[in-house]
Structure 1
């Protein structure tokens, strides 16, 4: 895969038992490849006619928001990226990993993220160590 600067980039993921697992998602993308006419070397988010665009992803996000009873104008692909960074921060993932995997060019994801109950659950215990 090429990053936003056009340089070759390879990422490795390990399977986890979490609901959101990169390996599980990769398998979900791999199985329908025959249906979409893609090859193993093609990007995960692609179809025979080309890649899936951020516009298409945004339409899916907005449709899901509408079905959930929310105003679609409030949602975009940026929120998917922010949500991913927030979950990773709250589970203790290193900030550099989040920056690289999320293709953040700055540390802006730290400003957007929200500390959740789950993310702060261990704080008081750690302060007593």
Structure 2
């Protein structure tokens, strides 16, 4: 981005992390659980939940391995559906594609 003086400037990771922690506090969350890395987790999770294919998630997150799968989080509804299918013995597709 450009600064107020019109010069090119960079945003420091610490500034991003601080902004995320302040937002966590404002929403009543524990700021120790949030930081700049939360953006990678949130981005990967959003893409996964919206049906984005695994290769696209991996590409946009610049992951060189399938480590991106550890960044995705299931929502409570997905966990409840998965649990119900486990209890009923259903073999629905619950893998990360």
TM-score by length of 2: 0.65
- CA shift in 2, pair 1:34/1:54, >3 Å: closer
Structure ranking higher on relative contact order (CA contacts 8 Å, 6+ apart): 2
2:45 corresponds to 1:105: no
Q: Point out 4+ residue stretches in structure 1 off by more than 2 angstroms.
A: 33-37, 114-118
Deviates more, 1:108-117 or 1:92-101: 108-117
Superposed displacement of residue 110, structure 1: 0.9
Deviation at 1:115, TM superposition (A): 2.9
1:78, 1:105 → 2: CA distance?
17
The correspondence of residues 19-98 of structure 1 with structure 2, limited to 5 A, is 37=6, 48=7, 50-98=9-57
* Cα displacement string for residues 84-119 of structure 1 (whole angstroms, at most 9, x for unaligned residues): 10110111111111111112232222123123347x
In structure 1, distance between residues paired with 2:63 and 2:37: 11
Structure 1 unaligned segments of length 5 or more: list them: 1-28, 38-47, 122-126
State the superposition RMSD in angstroms: 3.0
